[in-house]
């Protein structure tokens, strides 16, 4: 039986974390009987009720695992930690805020079954984002691709499905602070762009700053 692992970084998500769990579970259960699954939530130092709610969920669902940081280490560190504990054949990375819809996970798995090793989400619509946010995102990727010797697709983030062999390579890389969307492009493998509509954020403002993205990019290029 094949297994799907889902890594979900969470930072101050008490308002949405239960709904996130419900929607991911609902869509994983749409898979046929040849698949099992696990959900690995990484609490990135949240001081609200995020961890408390996750512990309640895990007590009721054996498919849920929790990693909890003593303080906030940042989004990329949270995802990196989750990737070290996955046991699935295919691994999905998705944020807890539900801007990236869990409903497309079964479709991503279909592309993986066709032989693609990386199925990355490409945003054809970005609902609820300001003109400034869209402009800075475009500027970030334009600058990044000028600095890098590989091309990172625009309108993408960390939302993707990757084969376990790709995760094994990422986990073996020596970088301490990984810029994952760059590394997933850098390691190669057979990749597919899955287009989808990104939704409005359900709760709180964006917690991954432009500064954090730039700093991660600089560390990666060094």
Mean pLDDT of 100-105: 96
Mean pLDDT of 164-189: 91
Starting at the edge strand found earlier in the chain, the sheet holding 191-198 runs: 64-68, 35-43, 2-10, 90-93, 156-163, 118-126, 191-198
In this predicted model, what pLDDT tens digit does every residue of 134-147 receive, in sequence order? 555 555 445 555 55
pLDDT mean across residues, the chain: 85
| pLDDT for res 33 | 84
Provide the pLDDT confidence category of residue 175 given band limits of 50, 70 and 90. confident
Nearest-angstrom CA–CA distance, 211 and 216: 9
In this predicted model, what pLDDT tens digit does every residue of 192-209 receive, in sequence order? 999 998 877 666 555 555
Nearest-angstrom CA–CA distance, 51 and 48: 8
pLDDT at 216 over 50: no
Mean pLDDT of 6-31: 97
Q: What is the pTM of this model?
A: 0.82
Mean pLDDT of 30-47: 94
Q: Which domains does the chain have, with CATH numbers?
A: 2-221 (3.90.550.10)
| pLDDT for res 146 | 54
Mean pLDDT of 172-197: 90
| pLDDT for res 218 | 42
């Amino acid at each position: 039986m094949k297994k799907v692992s889902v890594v979900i970084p969470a930072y101050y998500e008490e308002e949405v974390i239960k709904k996130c769990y419900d929607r991911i579970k609902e869509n994983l259960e749409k898979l046929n009987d040849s698949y099992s699954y696990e959900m690995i939530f990484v609490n990135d130092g949240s001081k609200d009720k995020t961890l408390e709610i996750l512990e309640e969920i895990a007590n009721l669902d054996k498919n849920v695992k929790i990693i909890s940081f003593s303080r906030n280490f940042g989004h990329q560190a949270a995802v990196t930690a989750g990737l070290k504990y996955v046991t699935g054949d295919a691994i999905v990375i998705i944020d807890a805020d539900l801007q990236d819809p869990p409903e497309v996970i079964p479709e991503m798995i279909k592309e993986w079954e066709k032989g693609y090793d990386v199925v990355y989400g490409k945003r054809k619509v970005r609902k609820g984002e300001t003109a400034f946010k869209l402009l800075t995102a475009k500027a970030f990727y334009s600058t990044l691709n000028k600095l890098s010797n590989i091309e990172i697709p625009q309108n993408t983030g960390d939302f993707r499905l990757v084969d376990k062999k790709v995760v094994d390579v990422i986990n073996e890389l020596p970088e301490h602070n990984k810029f994952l969307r760059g590394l997933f492009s850098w390691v190669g493998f057979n990749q597919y762009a899955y287009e989808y509509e990104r939704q409005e954020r359900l709760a709180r403002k964006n917690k991954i700053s432009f500064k954090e993205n730039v700093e991660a990019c600089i560390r990666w290029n060094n």
